Amino acid sequence: MYVILLLIVFALTGVFMVQNGSNHDFALLGYTWTLPLWAPTAIGVAAVSVLLLLHLSHAGIWSRFREMGHWRELDDHVNRIEGLRADNAQLREELAAARGQVRGAAAASGASQQSWMGGLRAMTDRVRNRTTPTA
Please report, in angstroms and rounded to a whole number, the separation of the first and last CA atoms in the chain.
86
> pTM (2 decimals)?
0.40
What is the rounded distance in angstroms from the CA atom of residue 56 to the CA atom of residue 14? 23
Q: Return the closest-CA partner of residue 53 out of 106, 9, 11, 112.
A: 9
Q: What is the DSSP letter of 27?
A: E
Backbone angles phi, psi at 84, to 5 degrees: -65, -40
Instruction: Please write the tens of the pLDDT for every residue from 18-43.
Output: 888 788 888 888 888 888 888 888 88
Instruction: Please write the tens of the pLDDT for every residue from 37-73.
Output: 888 888 888 898 888 888 877 777 666 766 766 667 7
For the chain, the domains span 2-110
